[in-house]
Amino acid sequence: MKFTAKQISEILQGEIVGNPLEEVHKLSKIEEGEKGALTFLSNPKYEPFLYSTNASVVIVNKSFSSEKDISATLIKVNDSYEAFSKLLEFYNQAKSNKTGIEQPSFISESATIGKDVYLGAFSYLGNNVSIGNNVKIYPNVYIGDNVVIQDGSCIYAGAKIYADSIIGKNCFIHSGAIIGCDGFGFAPSENGVYNKIPQTGNVILGDNVDVGSGTTIDRATLGSTIIKKGVKLDNQIQIAHNVEIGENTVIAAQSGIAGSSKIGKNCLIGGQVGIVGHLKIGDNVRIQAQSGIGRNLNDNEIVQGSPALPYSDYNKSYVHFKNLPKLVDKINALEKILNAQK
């Protein structure tokens, strides 16, 4: 797929400096630019690469002024980083603009499918499944009975969506993710045997939710596990039964949230964070990586450590943590002096 500098400038409403007919067919970093590549410059420290890159077209800020001759065609825009991101989205949509139903695949007679849907080979759609318009379902995807997937969502290869789950509009569920599996619910009997508690609820994803590869979201015991609109989940995250995550919260890889905890909106949670069950985490909370959360957190708290402390307290304490060996040596030396004086 080829584009000219003129076509790109029209998409970005930019100004061309150079050859408007220069063609590109791939994207690259500015330091790795080759003939036929499109790249961008936003960070000033990468400016030296602009004079040596072999890329055919470079997107720059309107404020940019060259110090030397540049072989590439430039497209000047208000914000080069934002413009390049817009092109990445455009390119990704064009690349994945598949439609049609591949064979072999299984579609229940009671399933309903909207317009311009892509269904990859070896996919399974169960009874009463409802698929909206412009949905992309890649090969080897399992979609259980009564699942609803709304317009514009994309389910990548190998993902599994269990029965009764509801997926909002423009969601992205990546390979290996499992939505709606049983929650970890077992009750011990008198003889020490653990009996499974039936998990009869479902999972609800709001609009514009991203679920990373290998992430699992358990169905509720009763009611729903709810991931609200705009939430972004990284790879390999565990969300337990009856958890609720507020709008636009972002969680990094390998974090785990135990059952029935409620997380507010606009939170940032680092990688490998563990949150115990039945807690309430407020809005705009920041949890640093590898923290262990065993208490409720109020709005706007910033915490770190295990058990987690307020961020500033943790940093102050860390100064003493790393000096503990020296302090122990001093105490031992003082004990020897005191013992010698006895």
Q: What are the residue ranges spanned by the domains of the chain?
A: 3-95, 100-314
pLDDT band at 328 (very low <50, low <70, confident <90, very high): confident
Topology annotation, domain 100-314: UDP N-Acetylglucosamine Acyltransferase; domain 1 (2.160.10)
Residues marked active site are found at 241
Percent of the chain having pLDDT more than 90?
77
Mean pLDDT of 113-124: 96
Give the integer Cα–Cα distance in Å for 217 and 316: 36
- CATH class as words, domain 3-95: alpha beta
Tell me what the mean pLDDT of segment 160-173 comes to.
Answer: 98
The pLDDT-based confidence of 329 (bands split at 50, 70, 90) is confident
pLDDT exceeds 80 at position 342: no
Instruction: Indicate the range of 77-86, 253-262, 267-276, 291-300 predicted with least confidence.
Output: 77-86
3-state secondary structure the chain: CCEEHHHHHHHHCCEEECCCCCEECEECCHHHCCCCEEEECCCHHHHHHHCCCCCCEEEEECCCCCCCCCCCEEEEECCHHHHHHHHHHHHHHHHCCCCEECCCCEECCCCEECCCCEECCCCEECCCCEECCCCEECCCCEECCCCEECCCCEECCCCEECCCCEECCCCEECCCCEEEECCCCEEECCCCCEEECCCCCEEEECCCCEECCCCEEECCCCCEEEECCCCEECCCCEECCCCEECCCCEECCCCEECCCCEECCCCEECCCCEECCCCEECCCCEECCCCEECCCECCCCEEECCCCEEHHHHHHHHHHHHCHHHHHHHHHHHHHHHHHHC
Tell me the pLDDT of the chain averaged across its residues.
Answer: 93
CA-to-CA distance for 281 and 84, rounded, in angstroms?
36
Task: Give 266-302 pLDDT, tens digit per residue.
Answer: 999 999 999 999 999 999 999 999 999 999 999 999 9
pLDDT digits 0-9 by tens, 200-211: 999 999 999 999
Residue 282 has which token pair? 């407020």
Number of Cβ atoms within 10 Å of the Cβ of 85? 12
Whether pLDDT at 19 is above 80: yes
281 phi and psi angles, rounded to 5 deg: -105, 125
Same fold yes or no, 3-95 and 100-314: no
